[in-house]
Homo-oligomer: A and B are copies of this chain.
Amino acid sequence: MTTQAQMPSTDRTRVRRVAELANYERDTAYAIIDSAYLCHIAFVDEKGTHCIPMACWREDNHLYIHGSNGGRLVKLLSGGTQVCVTITHLDGLVLARSAFNHSMNYRSVAIYGSFERVSNEADKRTALDVFMNKLASGRGNEVRPGNDKEFAATSVLRIALDEVAAKVRTGGPVDDAEDVSIPVWAGVLPLTQLQTTPVADDGITVETPTYVRNWDCSK
């Protein structure tokens, strides 16, 4: 990844405690984001600090979310409130020979900044198309598209991927030299997100589309 553009680090995104895990490269951050359907958004309102899970997707150098115009969250976030948006994939438990060297393998991205509302109607529709195609490629051409009322009731917000910290841990345990001979199993217990057998709604008689037939990885 040495040829990738570096993302500039700021005082806020520089990873302080485990510097060897820090990774500011854009492609790594993009891949972590693109593997996620959900992010956690931290923000402050008059009642305190909150952390809310939201569906998300990426287009170029922005992360997108959407929500109801009437919702408190959309109103607050589109007003420029500072947020931190975090995505984390847990890839495994790392079992070391000593209790204190146990760890976890993961990939995470923290995005700092603020959301802006996508106010141009064409841009908003394009963004929601990108989201639908992320969920199921081509599905946008099959379902009933949004009508004017639905579009009007929905806001699309985006945040630039400019102030971003990516952290990745991979590989086996790192034991102290004097612990390596301890006769205990050590290694990684991997975890992954699995796509399992689709469940059709009642009364479905149409042919199963490719993205549904290809979904199941559990067999």
By a beta-carbon cutoff of 8 Å, the part of chain A in contact with chain B is: 11-12, 16-17, 37-38, 40-44, 47-53, 55, 68, 71-73, 82-86, 88, 90, 93, 95-100, 102, 104, 106, 108, 110, 112, 128, 132, 135-136, 139-140, 142-146, 150, 154, 172-173, 179-180, 182-209, 212, 215, 218
A-B contact list, 21 entries, CB within 8 Å? A11-B47, A12-B48, A16-B71, A37-B191, A38-B88, A41-B51, A48-B84, A48-B112, A49-B83, A50-B110, A51-B85, A51-B86, A93-B135, A98-B143, A99-B145, A102-B143, A144-B182, A183-B206, A187-B200, A188-B201, A189-B212
Chain B neighbourhood of A142, CB < 8 A: 184-185
A186 to chain B: closest residue by CB: B201
Nearest chain B residue, comparing its CB with the CB of A183:
B206
Quick one: copies of this chain in the complex? 2
B204 x A68 contact (CB < 8 A)? no
Among residues of B, the one whose C-beta sits closest to the C-beta of A172 is B201
Least Cβ–Cβ distance between A50 and chain B, in angstroms = 5
